[in-house]
Amino acid sequence: MARHIGPKQRLQRQVGEDLGLKTNALKTARRLNTRPGQHGTRRRKLSNYGIQLKEKQKVKYLYGVLEKQLHRLYSQASKNPLATGAVLLGLLERRLDNVVYRLGWAPTRAAARQLIVHEHVLVNERKMNVPSYSVKVNDVITLKDKAVKIPMVAELLKEENKTLPGWLDRKATVAKVQRFPEREDITEVIDEQLVVEFYSR
């Protein structure tokens, strides 16, 4: 199970946006406009290719996937008769690590991934330690009792103002997938058409 293990703040500075990779938003914002590297103060005007690449990298970093995984999902989405970009984002949203994050059980997708790998999450009452598992309609996702004892998780469960996307339903440590996610359910600012254009060159 490959993953990015380098500095997450560096990725956000590269894109120039807060991608929710770190829990301290104020600390993130302080250096967000400084690009990584020795000559990080200069920002050159991007070509069309550069703009497409930046958006593709942004989606990669946001969902915590590697190039091979994203390209495979794009190939899968391109075979769908619906809009390729919207289908691609829907497939990314259905990843189990993203679902656990959306349910408010983890502060970041990386933390959600760790919960899953450490077998703190059940899908349809079965152990599931694969973060890339794609949830289906009527799947029941449960947080195990030992996970509730983790201070970070316990603190998040106390928050009552967590807004859930319309395709998920949650009651305490049990959640259900009501339907597949739609483009309108995604709150992050993403131009998926640029990602499609990058891969369809």
Read off the pLDDT band of 117 (50, 70, 90): very high
The tokens 């899953």 sit on which residue? 116
Question: Number of C-alpha atoms within 13 angstroms, CB side, residue 163?
Answer: 3
First to last CA, the chain: 29
Which CATH number does the domain 95-180 belong to among 3.30.9.10, 1.20.1250.20, 3.30.70.360, 3.10.290.10?
Answer: 3.10.290.10
Nearest to 194 by CA among 23, 54, 99, 64: 54
| Chain centroid to CA 118 | 18
Read off the pLDDT band of 11 (50, 70, 90): low
Read off the pLDDT band of 19 (50, 70, 90): low
- Tokens describing residue 120: 């703190």
Report DSSP letters for 53-102, one per residue: HHHHHHHHHHHT--HHHHHHHHHHHHTSSS-HHHHHHHHHHTBHHHHHHH
- Tokens describing residue 175: 């959640």
Q: Do the beta carbons of residue 4 and residue 66 sit within 8 Å?
A: yes
pTM of the model: 0.80
Model pLDDT for residues 135-163, shown as the tens digit of each residue:
999 999 999 989 888 888 888 888 767 78
d(CA 84, CA 130): 25
Q: Domain spans of the chain?
A: 8-92+187-199, 95-180
d(CA 182, CA 184): 5
Residues 132, 163, 168, 194: what is their CA dihedral angle, to the nearest 10 degrees? -50
- Report the pLDDT value the prediction gives residue 176, as an integer from 0 to 100: 93
- Report the pLDDT value the prediction gives residue 155, as an integer from 0 to 100: 87
Question: In terms of C-beta density within 10 A (0-12 exposed, 13-18 middle, 19 or more buried), how is residue 10 classed?
Answer: middle
- Report the pLDDT value the prediction gives residue 154, as an integer from 0 to 100: 87
Report DSSP letters for 37-51, one per residue: STTTT--PPP-HHHH
Share of the chain above pLDDT 90, in %: 36
CATH architecture of 8-92+187-199: Orthogonal Bundle (1.10)
| Mean pLDDT over each residue of the chain, to the nearest integer | 83
